[in-house]
Structure 1
Amino acid sequence: MDFNLSQILSTSMILFAIIDILGSIPIVINLRQKAGHIESEKATIVATILMIIFLFAGESLLKVIGLDVASFAIAGSIVIFILAMEMILGLTLFKEEAPETVSIVPLAFPLIAGAGTMTTLLSLKTEYATQNILIGIVINMIFVYFVLKNTIRLENFFGITGLNVLRKAFGIILLAIAIKLFRNNTGL
């Protein structure tokens, strides 16, 4: 196994931007108010397991349905592009309804380990070593757990304006990632 600090850092930053747990704090607070309680441990563990399973089995699943990783990466780059535009422009194109048990759905999936995250994992797999991606996942899930446990404190610390600035900054990063993924997988 060849651990590459540069790949780990890059993977961690890309996943950090796509998961956007800081930008999701208002959503998490809203879900907590509706449900009364969020199980941070359960949400983090389920999201981690989903990401790891998709990292290893996602490519096989794609082959079963006749797709290659490059095609999925291009489709994913478009999804990431749309998510980035939502964040930058303050639009809501993807709408989810919050069920009673919010720790698994919609928090673990699709908020944390959603389509954008899954697509990003497969796209990262085309460029980085699997063990470095796994470390990036673990680093992000530790951070996600910390944020879920301290959502109210973070909301008070950043304020509404601070959270909006973070969301837009990560939106620009995601936009650049989407363009890079598209370029790398189309040969442009």
Structure 2
Amino acid sequence: MNINIVEIGKTFMILFAVIDIVGSIPVIIKIKEKAGDIHPLRASLVALGLMITFLFAGEILLGVLGVDIKAFAVAGSLILFALSFELIFGVELFKGDDDFGSKIVAVVPIAFPLIAGAGTMTTLISLRVDFAAINIAIAVVLNIVVVFVVLSLTKQIEKILGQGGIAILKKAFGIILLAIAVKLFTENIQELL
């Protein structure tokens, strides 16, 4: 076990940028408006479980299922595209399920694909080339702590921003999310065709 603070710092920053939980606040607020409580601990733990599992067994798991990592990334990009469409145009594509309510929203779309999405999963596999798995795992845990704090403080952040600030953030982040979705889609679709 080779724990290296520099590697942890580098992988933390890379994952922090990919997860972009601060930039996801408008999406989280939008989901919260529809579902009510988003269960920060449940969403954080599910995302942590998905990320750690994928870190150590991602390529194997996708291989067993017959799913290429590129196909996984394209599927994730389509979900991100739909979320961005909602934010930009104010339309509702993801309808709440009355049977599950906020219990399932902690998993879909908060834990997956917002936190532990295709971009994050692809990044985890890519990081394995240059960094020790233990250092990546520690960086994942540290990022999940940040995610939990942001999810827990969503109400306070919403009060600070106000309705106008939230509306501006939604539109701006919708465009950024759309650009990320397009980039993820175009980078991966060519190899599938």
Normalised to the residue count of structure 1, the TM-score between the two structures is: 0.73
Residue identity matched to 1:122: M
In 2, Cα distance between equivalents of 1:146 and 1:18 = 10
Runs of 4+ in 1 over 6 A off after TM superposition: none
Q: CA deviation at 1:63?
A: 1.2
What stretches of structure 1 of length at least 5 have no aligned partner?
A: none
Is 23-32 or 109-118 further displaced after alignment? 23-32
Q: How far is the alpha carbon of 1:159 from its aligned partner?
A: 0.9
Q: Tell me which amino acid in the other structure corresponds to 2:157.
A: L
5+ residue gaps, structure 2: none
Number of equivalent positions: 181
The CA distance in 1 between the partners of 2:124 and 2:52, in whole Å, is 12
2:19 paired residue among 15, 20, 24: 15
Q: Quick check: 1:105 aligned with 2:104? A: yes
User: What is the rounded CA distance, in whole Å, between the counterparts of 1:183 and 1:165 in structure 2?
Assistant: 27
Q: CA deviation at 1:134?
A: 4.3
Aligned Cα RMSD in Å? Answer: 3.3
Please state if 1:173 is matched with 2:171. no
Percent of residue pairs bearing the same amino acid type: 35
The CA distance in 1 between the partners of 2:16 and 2:104, in whole Å, is 24
Q: Map of 1:108-147 to 2, 5 A cutoff?
A: 109-115=107-113, 117-125=116-124, 127-129=126-128, 131=133, 134=137, 137-147=140-150
Give the C-alpha shift of residue 97 in structure 1: 1.8
Give the direction of change, closer, same or farther, for the CA distance of 1:29–1:82 in structure 2 (3 Å limit). closer
Indicate conservation of the 8 Å contact 1:19/1:112, yes or no: no
Change (3 A) 1:96 1:140: farther
Distance 2:136 2:88 in 1: 27
CA contact (8 A) 1:22 1:147 kept: no
d(CA) in 2 for partners of 1:111, 1:28: 11
| Contact preservation (8 Å) 1:21, 1:112 | no
- The TM-score with structure 2 as length reference comes to 0.71
Amino acid in the other structure paired with 1:85? F
Amino acid at match of 1:180: K
Aligned-residue offset at 1:58: 3.5
Q: Which residue is equivalent to 2:58?
A: 58
Q: Is the 8 A contact 1:40 1:145 kept in 2?
A: yes
Say if 1:41 and 1:145, in contact at 8 Å, map to a contact too.
Answer: yes
| Residues 1:143 and 1:167: Cα distance change in structure 2 (over 3 Å) | farther
